[in-house]
Amino acid sequence: MTEAAPDHLIRPDGERLALKQVDGEGPVVLWVGGFRSDMEGTKALALEAAARERGWAFVRYDHFAHGQSTGEWRKATVGRWCEDACALVDHLVEATGTQVVPVGSSMGGWVALNLTLARAKAIRGLVLINPAQDFTERLMWPDLGPVRQAEILETGETLMPDEGLGPYVLTRAMFEEARSRLLPEGPLPVRCPVHILQGRRDTSVPWRHQLGLVAQLESADVRLDLIAGGDHRLSGPADLARMVAAVEAVRSA
């Protein structure tokens, strides 16, 4: 990179996106994390290590209301996360004069796809890891069941248990706003190389979720790897090596 990215990208409303970067050559590899994850996860750190070893330019960041970034969780929406990603890509392209390779994990895959639709010329290629496009409507809402659905519709939110990260709130506003970010039906004008890594044993994002996406993409270079035994995390040594190889191939395409 010709100019170091800041430790924070300040948004027009004063919120700050925390980020970390590695100087390097070629298109900027951009880690786009998942729902309630942060930039200190195993895959993000593995990509950073690969960037340092291979001389890539690399950035990882936390979404609004995630990790070290600011923001009130109840105000978080898919649209906000997509707009922030676009602003970050705009900054990186202006600072470096190069394109970007988003690596989107789970919800980050949905953000990365929306980002590519909005900033097509800035995107060199996509690597998607168990991407959860349209997950609020197609995966999360149906799984909530009628009791929690009714609570959200009547009171505006529900408190979800999580033994790992702790309980969190799901808001009616998030679900309603997310409908404006659903991928359009029919051909999807994503024409850059796309490499999807999907675990066959992923219980959060079933592997069949990707078949429709592959059919929609207009890219002439789409690869879907269905990984036997792979779960939603895809964070084992073989999974990380596969991810790094996918990024290297897309960077060089």
**Is the four-CA dihedral 37, 31, 134, 223 of positive or negative sign?**
negative
CA angle 214, 188, 181 (to 5 degrees): 105
Tell me how far apart the 2 most distant CA atoms of the chain are, in Å.
53
pLDDT in tens, 51-61: 999 999 999 99
250 has a pLDDT exceeding 80:
yes
φ/ψ of 186, rounded to 5, equals: 85, -170
Strand partners, 32: 104
Query: Is 78 in contact with 66 (CB distance < 8 Å)?
Result: no
Q: What's the pLDDT at 1?
A: 42
**Is the four-CA dihedral 204, 206, 207, 210 of positive or negative sign?**
negative
Mean pLDDT of 16-31: 97
pTM for the model: 0.96
pLDDT in tens, 26-85: 999 999 999 999 999 999 999 999 999 999 999 999 999 999 999 999 999 999 999 999
Cα–Cα nearest to 222, from 156, 104, 127, 134: 127
Name every residue whose Cβ is closer than 8 Å to that of residue 249 and which is 6 or more positions away in sequence: 193, 195
Burial bucket for residue 247 (CB in 10 Å: 0-12, 13-18, 19+): buried
For the chain, how many residues are written?
A: 253
User: What proportions of the chain, in percent to the nearest 5, are helix, strand and coil?
Assistant: 40, 25, 35
pLDDT in tens, 178-197: 999 999 999 999 999 999 99
Q: What's the pLDDT at 6?
A: 57
Enumerate domains of the chain plus CATH numbers.
8-133+184-246 (3.40.50.1820)
5 has a pLDDT exceeding 70:
no
Mean pLDDT of 107-122: 98
Backbone angle region of 130, left / alpha / beta, with phi > 0 → left and psi within -120 to 50 → alpha: left
- Measure the CA–CA gap between 180 and 101, rounded to whole angstroms: 24
